[in-house]
Structure 1
Amino acid sequence: MADGEVGGIVDEKFTAVREKFAQNLADGTDIGASFCVTRDGETVIDLWGGWADEERTRPWEKDTIVNVYSTTKTMTALTALWLADQGKLDFDAPVAEYWPEFAASGKDAIKVSHLMSHSAGLAGWTDPLDKQDLYDWEKATSLLAAQAPMWEPGTVPGYHALTQGYLVGEVIRRIDGRSVGTVFREEIAGPLGADFHIGLPASEDDRVAHLKPPPVAGLGSAAQTEIQRVAFEHPTIDVSETRTRAWRGAEIPAAGGTGNAHSIATVQSILANGGVMNGKRFLSEAGCRKALECQIEGTDLVLGIPVRFGLGYGLSGPMSPALNESSMFWGGYGGSIVLIDMQNRLTIAYAMNRMEGTTTGDMRAITLAALVWQAMAG
């Protein structure tokens, strides 16, 4: 394979997907990218290509990985679903049952399900936070435990862009004793051989693609309300931070995960396949379907768009009309995304390094996914 070209495998019925993927790399829609589809747990598309850096000095290889921002949330959510399926976590229980300090400032009735569905009223840190504080787990979680909610919990969604990972992650830590990144690695990614990391070892740094920031200003530039300002500016997201050892090594379970389309699809196929992947059962089928239970819907106070949230995932609805009722998804700032279709036992994942200005996924992945669905229907 020549530098910058497309590598990988494609089932012959999906030739149009490979052609579109290659076109995106050739015309600059993508610099480097990966796209993977599994069906019934089998990989039917696994593509990668282009360049791992904007300067085009490093080819995007099979094992190239990249920061995928909020697509990481699906890994944290799956870890919580796994713990619940073990009978150790009750989504309907008050958070304070597991994390007593969290009851402060009138939060004693907030449920774990509110954390999972972005409705806890803690969309950001009301005290300004320095980006270095994201690397201090104790500080980040203690501030949230002490903070009062910004709206009545459980009444309306408001995207917890960074805070969700610390909130759900601390509940996991309080129950299990291990950090969320450790539980994820030891119970899910490790057994699957999936190259996705919530907290990347320094030994893997040379495989990480460099993100190219979006052409427009960061997420905070769209902030209109106080809630949006707090969510996106405490602290402001700095894409260049993803090139640092501090960011990569830290456990930032809502935004700091590093992987590629193959590893994303491999992990999330657990849900698409009713709890089984690579011959191993990770969750019961009922434990998987729990994620589909709608917790809240309405116009999101942070994103400003209509949403439907299950337990850790977006569900079919106004912002995702193509999905059936047994589907869920989430994506990351800049363009990465994963779509999980339980009805068709299908998982579609995309990860790239040229960022668009969108908050959770964009049309590059959706166009490729549409070609997958067309081929399956044909």
Structure 2
Amino acid sequence: MSAIAIELADGRTISGSCDAQFTGVLAEFRRNFEERKEVGASVAITLGGRLVVDLWGGEARPATGEDAAEPWARDTVSIVYSCTKAATALCLHQLVDQGKISYETLVGDIWPDFASGGKEATTVGMMLAHTSPVPHLRDPIRTGGLADWDYMTARVAAEPAHWEPGTRQGYHGVTYAWTVGQIVRLVAGMPMGQYFRETIAGPLGLDFHIGLPESEEPRVAPMIAPDPAEVNFTSAFFRAATTQPGSLPNLFLTNLGGADFNSREVHAAEIGSANGITNARGLAGMYAPLANGGGTLLSQTRVHRMGRVSAATHSDAVLCQPMRFAMGFMMSTDNRESGADSLILGESAFGHVGMGGSVGFADPAQGLSMGYTMNRMGAGILVNARGQALIDAAYRAVGMASDASGAWR
């Protein structure tokens, strides 16, 4: 790979390395800073397990008052919100691969307290696929509640079903941390964050944390809230979220116990739906084995099974738009004609976005994995123009011709 050192017109820099085949990705990464209001970001790509793009740039902390801006460095990390769900799902798929549990296992057989209030027929597979009946909690989460594992698992277990198990698809934007995470904890016999560290992040050498050690806190780039002017308040999701108190979209955005995702309290907690902290290299590195047969993480059969569409709908009960899910992962979802948010990947690809636009995925058909992280959040609920431009450039680099069908081919 060629070393990259670019100084932008405003004095910010882009650094790293990039294979000549992927110069289109470098060009779009630069455009993100020059034309799409990027502040600080990283992008990484592997092909056939080899790192072919490793770029970072901009500012981890913009200048404030008398404090100078802090550049985004090679080891800068940031919270990746729902990209964390893929890591949590991967832990559970490992346990299935090891024969310790199955997708058809009733959750109540592992977690008896959960089998109440109409949730008795919920299976492990439903938990993974966002068809379990606990997409959120109706009553307010107490202040600081998201950081309290025992409190949140008790709340999830006591929540009455929002629908008959398996009959609807509704994005578990917050509760996934405990619907799936508690199963991992009970089956593995250890906290989920520890399991992820010992069996996935550690063996792969990933700088990826679910429960960040205090020693690593200085490397975290604080997240910058999206510009309200960019929010599409006419979308079905935002209409419901802002005008229908108690609706699932409203609960998803507002019932969070006042959690500050830039706080040390949240960074230190184990919230397997929303508080993973890493960079693009960490995301691409987690998906690299999945793009190449499973490696030491999973059997090839398991990778194939978990990467198939397991739930799809014209209107997700929480996101209020068409969505396609594998078990724990998002699939290519093309909503461009309707104006709703999209994620355009290859047809065999599976991954996950994070609030604000971070994304990671594996495409086994191409042997390709990718990660993108940033600190200035976009306003949508899937990827925005910055992330999609990088994805598109990556697919063009490996010879893909068109995404007109709704997936790169």
Q: TM-score, normalised by structure 1?
A: 0.93
SS of 2:373's equivalent?
A: strand
2:154 matches 1:142: yes
Match of 1:296 among 303, 311, 316: 311
The amino acid across from 1:248 in the alignment is: H
Distance (whole Å) between structure 2 residues aligned to residue 364 and residue 131 of structure 1: 34
Q: CA deviation at 1:345?
A: 1.0
Match of 1:96 among 83, 89, 108: 108
User: 2:406 — aligned with what?
Assistant: none
User: 1:285 — aligned with what?
Assistant: 300
Match of 1:327 among 336, 345, 349: 349
Q: How does 1:197-212 map to 2 (within 5 A)?
A: 197-212=209-224
User: 2:278 — aligned with what?
Assistant: 259
Q: CA deviation at 1:317?
A: 4.2
Match of 1:213 among 205, 225, 238: 225
Cα RMSD (Å):
2.0
SS of 1:106's equivalent?
A: coil
Distance (whole Å) between structure 2 residues aligned to residue 166 and residue 255 of structure 1: 11
Q: CA deviation at 1:93?
A: 1.0
Structure 1: segments with no counterpart, 5+ residues: none
Work out the percentage of aligned pairs sharing the same amino acid.
36
User: 2:266 — aligned with what?
Assistant: 247
Distance (whole Å) between structure 2 residues aligned to residue 30 and residue 315 of structure 1: 25
Q: How does 1:91-240 map to 2 (within 5 A)?
A: 91-216=103-228, 222-223=240-241, 225=244, 226-235=247-256
Q: Is the 2:140–2:257 contact (alpha carbons within 8 Å) kept by the matching residues of 1?
A: no
Residues 140-172 of structure 1, C-alpha deviation per residue, up to 9 Å, x if partnerless? 011111111112221121111010111101001
User: 2:59 — aligned with what?
Assistant: 51
2:99 matches 1:80: no
Distance (whole Å) between structure 2 residues aligned to residue 9 and residue 123 of structure 1: 41
2:341 matches 1:315: no
Q: TM-score, normalised by structure 2?
A: 0.86
Q: Is the 2:343–2:382 contact (alpha carbons within 8 Å) kept by the matching residues of 1?
A: no
Q: CA deviation at 1:220?
A: 7.1
Moved more, 11-20 or 305-314: 11-20
Do the aligned partners of residues 42 and 252 (structure 1) sit closer, same or farther apart at CA in structure 2, a change above 3 Å counting?
A: same
Distance (whole Å) between structure 2 residues aligned to residue 178 and residue 338 of structure 1: 26
Q: CA deviation at 1:334?
A: 0.5
Match of 1:360 among 382, 385, 398: 382
Structure 2: segments with no counterpart, 5+ residues: 336-341, 401-409
Q: CA deviation at 1:321?
A: 7.5
Q: CA deviation at 1:97?
A: 1.1
Distance (whole Å) between structure 1 residues aligned to residue 238 and residue 264 of structure 2: 24
SS of 1:377's equivalent?
A: coil
Moved more, 34-43 or 51-60: 51-60
Q: CA deviation at 1:322?
A: 4.1
Q: CA deviation at 1:236?
A: 6.5
Do the aligned partners of residues 95 and 237 (structure 1) sit closer, same or farther apart at CA in structure 2, a change above 3 Å counting?
A: same
User: 1:351 — aligned with what?
Assistant: 373
Distance (whole Å) between structure 2 residues aligned to residue 22 and residue 282 of structure 1: 34
Do the aligned partners of residues 316 and 335 (structure 1) sit closer, same or farther apart at CA in structure 2, a change above 3 Å counting?
A: closer
Q: Is the 1:130–1:234 contact (alpha carbons within 8 Å) kept by the matching residues of 2?
A: no
Distance (whole Å) between structure 1 residues aligned to residue 294 and residue 25 of structure 2: 27
Distance (whole Å) between structure 2 residues aligned to residue 28 and residue 344 of structure 1: 28
Do the aligned partners of residues 208 and 317 (structure 1) sit closer, same or farther apart at CA in structure 2, a change above 3 Å counting?
A: closer
Do the aligned partners of residues 321 and 143 (structure 1) sit closer, same or farther apart at CA in structure 2, a change above 3 Å counting?
A: closer
The amino acid across from 1:315 in the alignment is: M
User: 2:339 — aligned with what?
Assistant: none
User: 2:404 — aligned with what?
Assistant: none
Q: CA deviation at 1:355?
A: 0.4
SS of 2:71's equivalent?
A: coil
Q: CA deviation at 1:234?
A: 1.6
Distance (whole Å) between structure 1 residues aligned to residue 380 and residue 350 of structure 2: 19
Residues 83-120 of structure 1, C-alpha deviation per residue, up to 9 Å, x if partnerless? 11111121111111111111011211101111111111
- How many pairs align? 372
The amino acid across from 1:9 in the alignment is: S
Distance (whole Å) between structure 1 residues aligned to residue 357 and residue 108 of structure 2: 35
User: 2:405 — aligned with what?
Assistant: none
SS of 1:338's equivalent?
A: strand
Q: CA deviation at 1:331?
A: 0.2
Distance (whole Å) between structure 2 residues aligned to residue 324 and residue 212 of structure 1: 30
Q: Please state which structure has a larger fraction of its residues in helix.
A: 1
Q: Is the 2:43–2:373 contact (alpha carbons within 8 Å) kept by the matching residues of 1?
A: yes
2:20 matches 1:8: no
Distance (whole Å) between structure 2 residues aligned to residue 9 and residue 58 of structure 1: 21
Q: Is the 1:65–1:258 contact (alpha carbons within 8 Å) kept by the matching residues of 2?
A: yes
Q: Is the 1:161–1:232 contact (alpha carbons within 8 Å) kept by the matching residues of 2?
A: no
Residues 69-94 of structure 1, C-alpha deviation per residue, up to 9 Å, x if partnerless? 00111111111111111111211111
Q: CA deviation at 1:18?
A: 0.9
Q: Is the 1:220–1:236 contact (alpha carbons within 8 Å) kept by the matching residues of 2?
A: no
